[in-house]
Amino acid sequence: MSQWKLVVGNRNYSSWSLRGWLVLQHSGLPFSCIDLQLQSAEFAAEVARYTPVGKVPVLLVGEMAIWDSLAIAEFVAEQRADIWPADPLARARARSLCAEMHAGFGALRQQMPMNLQARDRQVPLRPELAADIARIEAIWSQTRQQFGAVGPWLFGHWSIADAFFAPVAARFRSYGVAIGEEAARYQQTLLADPAIEQWLADGVDQGIISAAEVGLR
């Protein structure tokens, strides 16, 4: 296997980059990162070297570029099938939830942008945002009750679905979103994932995130 490279955006803010990175990190497959600054003047030219769509993340496998977090996740799962649930019906549900997360929740994305280090942010709870939050809470609670008996993750064992909901857990923490007991336990499981700490620590080590910024936790 050639060395894979994952092109990502700002580690504190790029939710889709975090999703792709978590999938690769939990897969155990070797890879390295190329970090780009989303808001920089150079970003458009730099990302165009790797993908025609102008977005991150992008997985580079030899001369092949794979873009979009869901496509990356599916490719990685072809190498490590155990990062989807083993049961076919649970696996289908996990894929449905990832697709829903991938395509929906526009109000949540726009009104509660991810900032892994932020705390005590406040935004108006508009109806469309409240609906997104309620749907997320329902997904977490109902999926845990139906599929989560064997472990703390959404489907018991860690899966790609957990990578897709990890940035939402961080958003809820940053904006002080109150959710029910079952959903809150799952949120804490996501936030306690050592891989997220590693994501930030790597950024500090590389000078991508300042130590002072991480000190906001």
Residues 88 and 73 in one domain: no
Q: 90 and 77 share a domain?
A: no
At 214 the pLDDT is 47
What kind and span of H or E run contains 198?
helix 194-205
Q: What is the CATH number of the domain that holds 144?
A: 1.20.1050.10
105 and 175 inside one domain:
yes
Whether residue 205 is contained in a domain is answered as: no
Q: What is the pLDDT of residue 206?
A: 58
In this predicted structure, what is the pLDDT of residue 197? 87
Which residue type, as a one-letter code, is found at position 205?
D
The pLDDT value recorded for residue 201 is: 83
**Residue 187 domain-assigned (yes or no):** yes
Same domain, 110 and 166: yes
Last residue within a domain, chosen from 57, 81, 105: 81
Residues 88 and 191 both lie in one domain: yes
| Phi, psi for residue 216 in degrees, rounded to 5 | -70, -15
Say whether both 122 and 186 belong to one domain.
Answer: yes
pLDDT (0 to 100) of residue 163: 98
Q: Are residues 93 and 62 in the same domain?
A: no
Cα–Cα distances (Å) from 110 to 107, 132, 169, in that order, read 5, 11, 16
Both 178 and 140 in one domain: the answer is: yes
Locate all alpha helices (DSSP H) within 104-126, ordered by sequence: 106-111
In a domain, 190, yes or no: yes
Question: What is the 8-class DSSP label of residue 3?
Answer: P
Q: Which domain holds residue 102?
A: 84-195
pLDDT 10s digits, 155-171: 999 999 999 999 999 99
Could you give the CA distance from residue 36 to residue 33 in angstroms, rounded to a whole number?
Answer: 10
Convert 95-128 to b/e letters by CB count within 10 Å (16 or more is b). bebbeebeeebebbeebbbbbbbbeeeeeeeeee
**For the chain, how many structural domains are there in total?**
2
Domain boundary, last residue among 30, 62, 81: 81
For residues 163 and 73, is the Cβ–Cβ distance under 8 A?
A: yes
The CA distance from 176 to 120, in Å, is: 6
Domain with residue 42: its CATH number is: 3.40.30.10
pLDDT number for residue 217: 36
**Statement to judge: residues 165 and 177 lie in one domain:** yes
pLDDT score at 117: 86
Same domain, 37 and 139: no
Residues 57 and 126 in one domain: no
Q: Which residues of the chain register pLDDT less than 50?
A: 211-217
Per the domain annotation, does 209 fall within a domain? no
Q: In sequence order, what are the beta bridge partners of 58?
A: 7, 67
- The pLDDT, as a whole number, for residue 200 is 82
